[in-house]
Structures are given as structure tokens and as C-alpha cells.
């Protein structure tokens, strides 16, 4: 089978962080916003039925909660990266064929059929070929040809 495109990605913390943010930050942002609204509603409820001090406490919590979630999320990404010793600095080479992509790096070679990918997501700087809900391979746009980027855009799925 003929190789259509080739690319490579060096796994750095910045690339990993962007992957985490693109793949899982959306639901976290929504959940954080919903929780802040619920806390704000408790604040209004306490204004009407309880002491005004509770109103101020709940209002403060509603304002601070999203920032606390964001700080925790940043720390979780950093800890996860630091625990992933095998992936730090890993350079993966990708060969794209008509029906699958091959990934080769210091750890070995893997092959993934496009039809069996969980989904494909396009970010600002990379494409994410998702193998599962939170696991995927990263294809940097800056190290990919325009033709490869156009090809990967045809694989983008919504889930």
C-alpha cells in the first residue's frame, strides 16, 4: 500500500496541555459554569429566606468556584504529564494511508484504521485522532503538509 502523507510530532508539555484542553476542557467549563449558577441561585435563595451573611458567602463561592476548577485542572494536567515519563520528548512519526495511519516511535509501531477511530478533532495547532474518549494521537499542523491537513479535515467527526 502506498504512503499518502507523512508527519511527525514531538510530545512536549505544551502539546500535551493543548491536547487535554481541547479534548476535555469543554465539559469541565460547562460543568463549572452550571455549578456557579447553582451556587448563585442558593445565594438568592438565602437572601430571601435566611441571613444576608449567607447571601454574601454563596455569592463569593459562585464567583470563586470557576477559578478554583481552572487552577485544579491546570495542576492535574501538569501532574499527569510529569507522571508520563515514557511520553516526555517522544517523537512519533506518522505514515498516512488511504484506510489507516501508522505511528512509529521509540516505544514501537501501531496502526489505526480510520473507520475505528473514536473521533477526529481539529484544534488550532493540531489534529487529534482519538482512540477513545481521552486517548489519542496528536498530529501537529505545523509539521504537516496542506494536503495532509485537508485529508484529516475529511475525517473530522462530531460526537
For residue range 43-53, what is the model confidence (pLDDT) as tens digits?
777 777 777 77
Query: 156 Cβ partners below 8 Å, 6+ apart?
Result: 120, 121, 122
Report if residue 159 sits inside a domain.
no
d(CA 48, CA 11): 53
Q: Check residue 72 and give its pLDDT.
A: 86
The segments of the chain whose pLDDT lies below 50 read none
d(CA 15, CA 17): 5
pTM: 0.78
CA distances from 16 to 11, 13, 61, 90, 140 (A): 7, 5, 31, 11, 11
78 with 19, same domain: the answer is: yes
75 with 92, same domain: the answer is: no
Domain that holds residue 60: 13-83
pLDDT tens digits, residue range 10-32? 999 999 999 988 887 777 777 77
* Domain count along the chain: 2
The conformation of residue 107, written as its DSSP 8-state character, comes to T
Amino acid at each position: 500500500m502506498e504512503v499518502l502523507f507523512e508527519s511527525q510530532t514531538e510530545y512536549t508539555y505544551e502539546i500535551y496541555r493543548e491536547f487535554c484542553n481541547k479534548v476535555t476542557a469543554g465539559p469541565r467549563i460547562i460543568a463549572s459554569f452550571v455549578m456557579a449558577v447553582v451556587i448563585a441561585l442558593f445565594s438568592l435563595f438565602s437572601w430571601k429566606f435566611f441571613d444576608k451573611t449567607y447571601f454574601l458567602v454563596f455569592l463569593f463561592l459562585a464567583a470563586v468556584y470557576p477559578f478554583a476548577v481552572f487552577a485544579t485542572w491546570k495542576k492535574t494536567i501538569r501532574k499527569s504529564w510529569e507522571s508520563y515519563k515514557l511520553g516526555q520528548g517522544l517523537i512519533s512519526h506518522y505514515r498516512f494511508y488511504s484506510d489507516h495511519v501508522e505511528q512509529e516511535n521509540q516505544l514501537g509501531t501501531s496502526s489505526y484504521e480510520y473507520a475505528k477511530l473514536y473521533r477526529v478533532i481539529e484544534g488550532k495547532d493540531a489534529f487529534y485522532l482519538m482512540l477513545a474518549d481521552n486517548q489519542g494521537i496528536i498530529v501537529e499542523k505545523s509539521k504537516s503538509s496542506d494536503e495532509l491537513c485537508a485529508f484529516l479535515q475529511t475525517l473530522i467527526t462530531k460526537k
